[in-house]
Amino acid sequence: MRTRFSLIVLTIVILGFTTLSSGGTFDKAEYKARRVKLMQSIPDGIAVIIGSEGEKQKSNFIYFTGVEEPFSILIIDGMKKETILFLPSVESREKILEETGVDRVMPLAQFSRLLFSYQAQTNIIYTPFNRADAGYVPKGLIDPDNRLSREMNFISQIKKNFPCFRFKDLNHAIAELRVIKSPAEIEVMREAARISSLAHIEVLRSAKPGMYEWELEAIYEYTIKRLGGQGFGYEPIIPSDPKWYDSHYSENSRKIEDGDMVMPDVGGEYNYYVVDISATFPINGKFTPEQKRLNRIICAVENAMQKVFRPGIRSIDMKAEVQEIVAKQGIDLDKEGVYRIEANHWIGLDVHDVIGAGISSRTTILKPGMVLASDPAIKIRDKNGNVIGGVKIENTILITEDGCENLTHLVPRTVEEIEKVMAEKGIHDYLKKKDK
Ligand code: GLY
Ligand code: MN
């Protein structure tokens, strides 16, 4: 496990788990149920899922096994309805069988032999086609390094050795499972949300003019880890220059001057699950009248979105209802230039969860258990089109049976809430530089 023992004990208490014998965050019955559901999508073949190379375990692998050991491979046999786990070394077969609930555990060295034997039963291998893992290659560019993701490389190696196999993309079938979070997953996400929200509060307390963006980053990281998280759920984005508002800027190197608004987009990871939070606040702790006006608008829109999110709708269709609610407060969405009134992306094991697997957060009919980003924003531009101001709020939202729950509700949002927290002392206030 990625947490210390005391935190595991705490997790057991918080989540009410009776056992962590699976070796993962959840009971082995939960992992098994996920694998059994996947079997229904692959009745004519086997699924092969590879683990990490030594970095953090891959999301799909952890989802089906809870196993963190790198260089592991999972076969889920949709024909015989059995699961085989290959590990680099198998010290105690019984222990691993007991912890994971898989049917067979084998040393990695036997993977090829087993694959060979499958040729008599099927020629179909389902595996995630993860092209993007190899890094970003701009569209239209011939990649000079010819980088294939590990998954695509793996496919080409199997093809070379066993030309009879045909490959089918498993991403959609996995995404259909991962997009609906179980009650146990939701509890873990609640904890990720709690510690990440407390990190935002600690940053608000410490933020002062003259600090660098990276200092706020450090306070986020310290607080998330101090509270039992493993660190950032994604690259922290802490722009204080409007030019970088609502972007993926993560240099976080700028000195934040009095009068600047900071727009952090930062969420933590807890037991592999992440949340996504954005906020906008004045570094000096006091909103100007125009900043107050923008904050009031974005809070009204975000609150209206949380009234509208519910099972049975598509997020792409929600704008009219949101407009109707905020119009009663004198706000015209289009006149104010509010954009992204929809579920921007799913959230779970990844911040852009199950992205590219054909289940759009915009056009899919929402169901209970889905977790999504709600992140309306406004950008103010000068006459040349340069961004000179703006505001964004982002919450991690769970769709419930009859509406939604804001998992990141602890983050201060109104002007009054933010100014009150910013007037409190934070970690930074206790770290005095030596007198010259
Ligand atoms: N939190 C970063 C993003 O959603 O792109
Ligand atoms: Mn986001």
Contact between 283 and 256 under an 8 Å Cβ cutoff? The reply is yes
CA of 265 to the centre of ligand 1 (A): 7
Which pLDDT belongs to residue 3?
A: 45
Which pLDDT belongs to residue 137?
A: 60
Whole-number Å distance between alpha carbons of 199 and 192: 11
Which pLDDT belongs to residue 131?
A: 67
Which pLDDT belongs to residue 38?
A: 98
Which pLDDT belongs to residue 153?
A: 87
Q: What digits encode the pLDDT tens for the residues 112-161?
A: 999 999 999 999 999 998 765 545 566 677 777 667 788 888 999 999 99
Report the relative pairing of strands 387-392 and 73-77 from DSSP bridges. Answer: unpaired
Count of Cβ atoms closer than 10 Å to residue 158 Cβ: 18
Q: Which atom of ligand 1 is nearest to the CA of 265?
A: 1
Measuring CA to CA, how many Å separate 419 from each of 259, 260, 282, 300?
14, 15, 9, 18
Measuring CA to CA, how many Å separate 116 from each of 120, 122, 165, 395?
8, 11, 10, 48
String of DSSP letters for 242-311: GGGTTS------PBPPTTPEE--B--EEETTEE---B--EETTS---HHHHHHHHHHHHHHHHHHHH--T
From 232, 237, 350, mutation site for ligand 1 pocket: most ligand atoms within 8 A of C-beta: 237
Count of Cβ atoms closer than 10 Å to residue 43 Cβ: 10
| pTM of the entire predicted model | 0.92
CA triple 206-207-213, angle to 5 deg: 120
Which one-letter DSSP state was computed for residue 391?
A: E
Residue nearest to atom 5 of ligand 1 (CA): 248
Closest-CA residue to 27 (of 17, 14, 39, 12): 17
From 234, 250, 350, 411, mutation site for ligand 1 pocket: most ligand atoms within 8 A of C-beta: 234
Closest-CA residue to 368 (of 165, 185, 102): 185
Count of Cβ atoms closer than 10 Å to residue 311 Cβ: 16
Ligand 1 environment, Cβ below 6 A: 234, 265, 276, 351, 373
pLDDT tens digits for the chain (436 residues)?
454 434 433 443 344 333 333 468 999 999 999 999 999 999 999 999 999 998 899 999 999 999 999 999 999 999 999 999 999 988 888 989 998 999 999 999 999 999 999 999 999 999 998 765 545 566 677 777 667 788 888 999 999 999 999 999 999 999 999 999 999 999 999 999 999 999 999 999 999 999 999 999 999 999 999 999 999 999 999 999 999 999 999 999 999 999 999 999 999 999 999 999 999 999 999 999 999 999 999 999 999 999 999 999 999 999 999 999 999 999 999 999 999 999 999 999 999 999 989 999 999 999 999 999 999 999 999 999 999 999 999 999 999 999 999 999 999 999 999 999 999 999 999 887 665 5
CA of 99 to the centre of ligand 1 (A): 34
Beta pairing partners, 168: 126
* Ligand 2 (single-atom ion) residues, CB below 5 Å: 276, 373
CA of 276 to the centre of ligand 1 (A): 7
Which pLDDT belongs to residue 293?
A: 98
